[in-house]
Amino acid sequence: MKSLRSFAGSLFVMTIASASFVAPSHAQTAPAPLIEPFSLPAKPVALNQDIIKRYLYSFAPVGALMKEVAGAAVAPEETAKLDKKAAEYGFKNFEDWGETTRTIMVTYHWATNPDPREEVEKALATIPTMPNLSDKEKANMIDGLKAGLATVENARPSPENLAVVKRHLGSIKPLYNQWSTR
């Protein structure tokens, strides 16, 4: 089981991740992850067995290509390579693959942490006792966790998506661990 601190941190990071998808752009100046860890899907994908299977087979090759192009601004040629690689596994393009990634990972997180409110309430109870934080920092942390909880609760996956992902928890876990620690 995750520690309370790591869950609270994960929840906080998940909800403040500002960019769900960093659109490849020739004018990009600073390299950024192509898919932010703990980002929420803009529009969750309706998952099924076929999508999960294609995703599992595609993760390593698409991930390897992402590492290859992620060191600098992503030019149109790299975007085309990512689109082509994602299409090899039946996705419309890399953006479709990215939305599928976010949907699967957020659904996995819900499947393995089904009651975020309980965890957040535990974290909220410990904040006032943290001696190394000022009152303002404590208030900010409490406000952030409450806002984050609302965002996470609004991102609850559909029962259908949860059912599909639950059948593949063992296969998704190592991918989730990679996604959540980048």
- Backbone dihedral angles phi then psi of residue 165, each to the nearest 5 degrees: -65, -35
For residue 21, give the 3-state DSSP assignment.
strand
Question: Does 138 fall in a domain?
Answer: yes
Domain count, the chain: 1
Q: Is residue 104 situated within a structural domain? A: yes
- For residue 9, the Cα-to-chain-centroid distance in whole angstroms is 14
Nearest to 94 by CA among 72, 65, 51: 65
Digits of tens for pLDDT over the chain (182 positions)?
Answer: 333 334 444 443 343 332 233 333 333 333 344 667 668 888 999 999 999 999 999 999 999 998 888 765 677 888 899 999 999 999 999 999 999 999 999 999 999 988 888 888 999 999 999 999 999 999 999 999 999 888 888 889 999 999 999 999 999 999 999 888 76
pTM, to two decimals: 0.73
- Collapsing DSSP states into helix, strand and coil, what is residue 35? strand
Domain of 122 in residue numbering reads as 44-180
**Is 94 part of any domain?**
yes
Integer Rg of the chain from CA: 18
